[in-house]
Amino acid sequence: MRIGFVGLGIMGKPMAKNLLKAGYELVVFDVVEAPLKEVVAAGAKAATSPSDVASQCEIIITMLPNSPHVKTAVLGKNGVIEGVKAGSIVVDMSSIAPLASREIAAELATKGVEMLDAPVSGGEPKAVEGTLAIMVGGKQEVFDKVKDILLKMGASAVLCGDIGAGNVTKLANQIIVALNIAAMSEALVLATKAGVDPEKVFDAIKGGLAGSTVLNAKAPMVLQGNYKPGFRIELHIKDLQNALDTAHEISAPIPLTSQVMEIMQAMKVDGKQTEDHGGLIQFYEKLAGVKVRKGGAQ
């Protein structure tokens, strides 16, 4: 089966490579030349536009930064919709606003094309491993046709409801992750300021109720002062903005999310928007006048 893949960024590139490793024939496009060449060197065929990708494939995957990018790639000039054939399936794996997913799906439907929204969680490490958690919105019969493909990129793929449900689930995921990071940051800064080794605090609590995948992934990075991005603060800002916009549309108050959003905005003002979202702890370190590191305050 020939699969199209549009968007070869920090997440899309390893996801595309995993499809190649699984034996799928891949036609790819990205506006940036370097990752396009890298994936072509791994065995993919380069296309000249999203439209060109769609004209050669029955299943087209998009993995792009935000709603406007997906709309342009799918519905814009030289977009997927200009080359796609009736009966094809578009799987948007970007994290975008649920309403945007529904709008794009409605336009594709006029061409006889089905769509799933299938955002992912796990960041670059799990994209490389092929162990992403994939949250899907759309029709059951469409999901069934592509589930095996999704599971070449993820450890799980769960149909959460109709189109848009995947991105609603991703927004819920991103709220929980953001609040977990903020809670970890407050706790480890408190411990450090009180003169307790934060590494020992982490070791003591990670097996209890406070333990989480977020804590296990981010605390070791924080203790080393390592904020190399697996998931950038600026991308989490984008997700939380989509969460806030969606919440306002449906009258669902999310006050803690708005607080963490303001902390992330402060990090952006401080020039740290391209760092890993675990670097959020620097906001608290600055307020408290300490740095959380192995062995105690520095």
Q: Which residues are catalytic?
A: 170
What type of residue sits at position 2?
R
Provide the residue count of the chain: 298
Residue pair 4/55 in contact (Cβ under 8 Å)? The answer is no
**What's the rounded Cα separation, in Å, for the pair 12 and 31?**
13
Element (H, E) at 10: none
**What's the rounded Cα separation, in Å, for the pair 143 and 153?**
15
Q: Could you tell me the two tokens for 179?
A: 């609040």
How far, in Å, are 46, 63, 263 from residue 179 at the CA level? 40, 25, 11
**What's the rounded Cα separation, in Å, for the pair 286 and 102?**
42
**What's the rounded Cα separation, in Å, for the pair 290 and 288?**
6
